[in-house]
Amino acid sequence: MLTVYSEDCRAHHGRAELNEGQLVPCFENPSRTDMVLDRLRAVDLGEIVAPRDFGEGPLRAVHDDGFVDFLKTCWADWTAAGRDWDAIPFTFGKRGMRNDRVPQDIDGRISFYGMDAGTPITAGTWTAATAAANCALTATEQVAGGLRAAFAACRPPGHHAAADYYGGYCFLNNAAIAAQAARTNGAQRVSILDVDYHHGNGTQTIFYDRDDVQFLSLHADPTVEYPYFLGHADETGAGAGEGFNHNFPLPWGTDWARYEEALTEALRRIRGYRPDVLVVSLGLDTFENDPISKFRLSSDRYPQLGALLAGLKVPTVFVLEGGYAVEALGTNAVGVLQGFEDA
C-alpha cells in the first residue's frame, strides 16, 4: 500500500496542553508518526512518498476563509505581542454571547477560533497542518488514479477541526479535505468512516446538511467523553443531509465484541449508500492501553478491522487521526493496513 508522508508534519510540536486541570507534555507529538513510519518500513508494506503541494484552494473549499487566514498568521501575531511560548486560548464564547464579530486582539481571535485549551499553536503549526492536508490530498489523488487504497500518515490529525474552529489537536480537517477533493474530482458519493475513540465533531459539522458525503462515527459516548457537545445518536443530519449522518456512541470499556457489532451496522449503511470512495479517519486510540482513552481493543483486532473495511470493495483513503499509546501506534496502524491488503 502506498503511504504519503511529509517531514514537514514534524514542524508542529507543542510544549504543553491542559489536561485534567494540569499543564502536561503534549500527547500529540512528532514521535507518533515516527513509530508508524518505522513499522511501515519494518514490514515493507509499500512505497512511502512525499505529497505534492495543492495550494490553499482545497483547504478553503472546506474551511472558512477567515479561519484559514487566522491559522496562517496566528503565530506571527502572537509573537508580535511579545510572547515566545505556545498560543492557547483562555476564554470561550458561551450561550447568550455574540459570535458574529471576530475580535481584533490576538487573544480574542485565538479564543474565537479555538475549541479547547489542549491544542497549542506553535511556530510550526501552519507548516505541519498544511503538509498533513497535502498528504491526504495526494493519497486521494492516487486512489482516484486507480489505486485500491492509499494511506495518508497525517500529523497533526484533523477530525475535530470544523469549517471555522480548531481543537482536539486538530487544525485543518484532513479527512474532510480529502472527501471534498474526491467530490470535486468526480466522485458522486463519498463515505467517511471515523473509527477514532473520540467523535469527529468537525467532520460532522462540515457535511451535516449534505447528502453527497455520508458520515459515520464510532466513538465514546459524548455524555462522558470529549468532545462532549456532539456525537449523539439522534444527530442524523439536517436539510438535504437528513439521514446521512450516523453516530454510534459506545460506553467506556467497550471491547471488540461490542465494537464489532456497531462496526457491522456502520458497514451495512455504507453498502446501502454505495459510495464511489471511502475515507477512513483512522484513529487508533481505541487501543486498550491508550493513555487518554477507555476502550479495550487489543492489537490483534486491528487487522480484523482492516479486513472488514476491505470487504466493502470500495477505493479507500486512510487518513491518520488519533492514537497516543506511542509504542504500539505503529503496530496498530499498520495492522489495519495489512489486514486490508491481505483480505
**3-state DSSP call for residue 167?**
strand
Kindly tell me the burial class for residue 306, based on how many C-beta atoms sit within 10 Å of its own C-beta (0-12, 13-18, 19 or more): buried
Say what the pLDDT of residue 150 is: 98
Average pLDDT over residues 144-172: 98
Span 211-223, pLDDT tens digits = 999 999 999 999 9
Over pLDDT 70: what percentage of the chain?
Answer: 100
Share of the chain above pLDDT 90, in %: 97
Is 246 catalytic? The answer is no
Res. 341: pLDDT tops 90: yes
Per-residue confidence band for 24, with pLDDT thresholds at 50, 70 and 90? very high
Q: Is residue 171 predicted with pLDDT exceeding 90?
A: yes
- Residue 7: the pLDDT is 97
pTM of the complete model beyond 0.75: yes
CA 331-10-318 angle, to 5 degrees, is 45
Integer Cα distance of 96 and 38 in angstroms: 49
Residue 135 near residue 9 (C-beta atoms within 8 A): yes
Is the pLDDT at 267 greater than 90? The verdict is yes
Asked if 45 contacts 334 with a C-beta cutoff of 8 angstroms, the reply is yes
CA distances from 10 to 7, 141, 171, 213 (A): 6, 23, 14, 30
Res 20 pLDDT > 90: no
Burial class, 117, CB count within 10 angstroms (exposed 0-12 / middle 13-18 / buried 19+): middle
Gyration radius from the chain CA atoms: 19
Q: What pLDDT digit, counting tens, does each position of 120-157 carry?
A: 999 999 999 999 999 999 999 999 999 999 999 999 99
pLDDT tens for 75-128 read: 999 999 999 999 999 899 899 999 999 999 999 999 999 999 999 999 999 999
| Average confidence score pLDDT of the chain | 97
Task: Tell me what the mean pLDDT of segment 235-250 comes to.
Answer: 98
Task: Please confirm whether the linkage preceding 227 is cis (ω < 30° from 0).
Answer: yes
Residue 18: the pLDDT is 86
Enter the C-alpha cell of residue 161: 477541526
pLDDT surpassing 90 at residue 19: no
Q: Which residue, 211, 136, 130, is CA-closest to 179?
A: 136
Give the tens place of pLDDT for each residue, 272-298: 999 999 999 999 999 999 999 999 999
pLDDT at 123: 97
| Of 12, 63, 159, 160, catalytic | 160
The C-alpha atoms of residue 128 and residue 172 are separated, in whole angstroms, by 10
Q: 119: left (phi > 0), else alpha (psi -120 to 50), else beta?
A: beta
